[in-house]
Structure 1
Amino acid sequence: MKGIAGHQIRGLQQESEINVIDNTGAKVISIITVPDYHGVSRRIPKAGVGDFVIASVKKGTPAMRRQIVYAVIVRQRRPYRRPDGTMVSFEDNAAVLVTETGETKGTDIKGPVAREAADRWPRIAATANTIV
């Protein structure tokens, strides 16, 4: 898993609740774990923009609720630095549901998507309306 250029600050941790911005039927998910996260012993796994996470659906359609899903973080509230020195933060934390290989499950993404997530996940970039 390659890192993102610049100093990425991971703004979401385990049990964080995130809005889902695609049309899969899930509304809110909670992070279970972050695969390929390398921290020190007993450190809580954290995720930032562009990271792949495993999550549980907390709110959504009855068919989607309580399912274990894969997602990619596309926005975070916590400011992070880009390689050119600008600080970026969004109004909310948001994710897009994907398959295990990175294909998007939904056909539409509402709202902006961070450039870091779009560069790393080409299928999200193709589906997104706005890339910031």
Structure 2
Amino acid sequence: MSLGLPVAATVNCADNTGAKNLYIISVKGIKGRLNRLPSACVGDMVMATVKKGKPDLRKKVMPAVIVRQRKPWRRKDGVYMYFEGIDFLH
């Protein structure tokens, strides 16, 4: 799957928790290589902070899951999938 969201990306939140924008801090399960930014794709869990939203949600690190990404990825049957926007579930 094509990794479409690097660390430090700001994306929309797709649920009704009160968070509007999330900022990716890290990607779970990525070991990494020197000078390469960890990236995530659909279905990956990331650690994020709320940049815009309810004051009680801001300034805390919390997990989120990516549910949509704009960068296309190829399925095994040959179809390329992509969405109109980028969204998270918080």
Deviation of 1:28 after TM superposition, in Å, equals: 0.6
2:25 and 2:62 mapped to 1: Cα distance?
Answer: 10
- How do residues 1-132 of structure 1 correspond to structure 2 at under 5 angstroms? 8-97=1-90
Aligned residues: 90
2:62 and 2:75 mapped to 1: Cα distance?
Answer: 29
Deviation of 1:69 after TM superposition, in Å, equals: 1.1
TM-score by length of 2: 0.94
The superposition leaves residues 76-105 of structure 1 with CA deviations (integer Å, 9 ceiling, x where unpaired) of 0011111111011111110101xxxxxxxx
Structure 1 unmatched ranges of 5 or more = 1-7, 98-132
Moved over 4 A (4+): none
Structure 2 unmatched ranges of 5 or more = none
* More helix, by proportion: 1
The superposition leaves residues 102-126 of structure 1 with CA deviations (integer Å, 9 ceiling, x where unpaired) of xxxxxxxxxxxxxxxxxxxxxxxxx
Deviation of 1:18 after TM superposition, in Å, equals: 1.1
Alpha-carbon RMSD: 1.0
* More strand, by proportion: 2
2:71 and 2:3 mapped to 1: Cα distance?
Answer: 8
TM-score by length of 1: 0.65
